[in-house]
Amino acid sequence: MKRRLKGLGSGLVKAVAYAATVVSLASAAHAAEIRYWDFVDPAQDNPRGRAIKQDIAEFQALNPGITVKVEVFPWHQLSSQLMQAAAAGRTPDVVRVLGWNVPDHVAAQSIASMNEFTDKMPESYRNDFVTSWGANVYDGNKVAIPLELRSAVLYYRKDLLDKVGRPIPKSIDEMIATGKLLSALPNTQGLVMGLSRSGDAVAFIEPFMSYLWAAGGDLVDKDGKPTFNSEAGVKVVKKIKEMIDSGAMSRASLGYGYDEVYSGIRSGTNAMSLLGSHRLVTAREAGKFGNNLLASPLPGFTADKAAPAHVFGWQLVIGKDSKHKAEAWKFIEYMTSTKAQVRRAGLTGELPTRKSAYDDPFFKTPEAQEIRDWLTFMASDTARSPHYPRGFAEMSQLIADAVQQVVVSNADPKQALDKAAERYSALRK
């Protein structure tokens, strides 16, 4: 389960009927039209919307024979919609898929091998990715290219911390103590962690994995057998319960998924939140918080050691039914190019997946300091980019259910986790 980030160079320091929006960015007929599924809407005037709009406009200018048709879905439905489209023989050409969903799509044969294209790329291209090239190779087939990187972090309102006279929390206990003080402020939730199973329990599992590692545990062993029901898992679950029992975190968190946590950050309701680093720039702009909305590494069990970074992100894959695989590959190659990643970093704060991107002059500017800080955190010795097991989303939901039982019904943490492990093992058979 453990795979360290390696090879960082010296430049280092996100069924069709449910689509919410369909945007065609072409102005004339072209030889090939590729369908691209994403959750980011290029028609939206926000950092990520503006970035993808620029990406597609430039790609089409460089490739006048190709039109990109963007079909926008809710982020947590992209994977399930791809599964349904594959069953119907109607997959799009390119899809944005979370890294932990890739093994399930390999098993379902819903995505295509990229070998006919990647085998022609020089070794320097393969070695230019921050994460291991073999991370998305199954039975010798390269099936996904990483688009961006992120990790769960602690969002905090600096102005509210100043109001209660507290520094940035460095340990979980400090975070709980500060959360209690912040919760006493009017219309404020002191600490928020999404504990719902909604959206594949992503809001929950992102920080949970970091804290499980910090406690010395892991989700599964080398054979894929669940191990989250260990003493380490019990320790983390007890801390989560303490967050709520102490008053640092409202019981409302039990119903929060990713979007609810983000909404609270953006509206200014949440004083501190645990969420992926990639949403910081967009939330800051939406809430007009300026430098009052900041983020730091997840506090650890002791103040001298942050919880390990859980490094993950969105991947680009080719649908198995694509009739334009060569054009789809060109689009993926462009979207993950150094130039495109540097531009997106400047607009959205998302971390590039290419080492060469960090050699760009932009990363030496004061504007890029925040990204450099995240890179340092995600490239530390304790950072991990895990090899996800099949059924990861189901496992995440089962663990979230166990935490709910502990918090709501005072279930024994060990027994609740054991039951979740049994259910997950039954799913794997």
Q: Using an 8 Å Cβ cutoff, are 219 and 280 in contact?
A: no
Residue 21: predicted pLDDT? 38
Alpha helices in 109-185 (DSSP H): 115-118, 123-126, 158-163, 172-183
What single-letter DSSP state applies at residue 297? P
What is the C-alpha separation between 389 and 381, in angstroms, rounded? 23
Which tens digits make up the pLDDT trace of 102-134? 999 999 999 999 999 999 999 999 999 988 898
Domains 16-149+312-378 and 152-310+391-428 in one fold? yes
What is the C-alpha separation between 72 and 5, in angstroms, rounded? 31
Residue 30: predicted pLDDT? 44
Q: Which residues of the chain have pLDDT under 70?
A: 1-30
Q: Cα torsion for 349, 269, 402, 103, to the nearest 10°?
A: -20
Helices 392-409, 231-245: inter-axial angle, 10-degree rounding: 50
Neighbours of 174 (CB within 10 A): 15
Q: Is 290 left (phi over 0), alpha (psi -120 to 50) or beta?
A: left
pTM attached to this predicted model: 0.85
Tokens representing 23? 């945007």
Domain ranges within the chain, ordered by starting residue: 16-149+312-378, 152-310+391-428
Give the architecture-level CATH label for domain 152-310+391-428: 3-Layer(aba) Sandwich (3.40)
Question: Phi/psi at 146 (nearest 5 deg)?
Answer: -70, 135
Closest to 396 measured CA to CA, from 192, 233, 210, 206:
206
Question: Tokens 């929390």 sit at which residue?
Answer: 169
Q: Which helix (H) or strand (E) holds 398?
A: helix 392-409
222 CA to centre of own chain: 23
Question: Tokens 């039109």 sit at which residue?
Answer: 67
What single-letter DSSP state applies at residue 70? E
What is the C-alpha separation between 362 and 364, in angstroms, rounded? 5
Name, in order, each residue with C-beta under 8 angstroms of 301's C-beta and a sequence gap of 6 or more. Answer: 171, 172, 214, 215, 307
**Measured between alpha carbons, how far is residue 318 from residues 110, 294, 330, 356 in Å?**
9, 36, 11, 24
Residue 279: predicted pLDDT? 86
Q: Using an 8 Å Cβ cutoff, are 248 and 270 in contact?
A: no
What is the C-alpha separation between 404 and 406, in angstroms, rounded? 5
CATH number of 16-149+312-378: 3.40.190.10
What is the C-alpha separation between 363 and 360, in angstroms, rounded? 6
Strands 152-157 vs 293-296: parallel, antiparallel or unpaired:
antiparallel
Q: Cα torsion for 16, 332, 75, 172, to the nearest 10°?
A: 160
Q: Cα torsion for 228, 233, 234, 240, to the nearest 10°?
A: -130
Residue 371: predicted pLDDT? 87
DSSP 314-334: EEEEEBTT-S-HHHHHHHHHH
Which tens digits make up the pLDDT trace of 227-254? 999 999 999 999 999 999 999 999 999 9
What is the C-alpha separation between 280 and 254, in angstroms, rounded? 23
Q: Cα torsion for 192, 198, 203, 206, to the nearest 10°?
A: 140
Q: Using an 8 Å Cβ cutoff, are 71 and 19 in contact?
A: yes
Closest to 112 measured CA to CA, from 143, 83, 81:
143
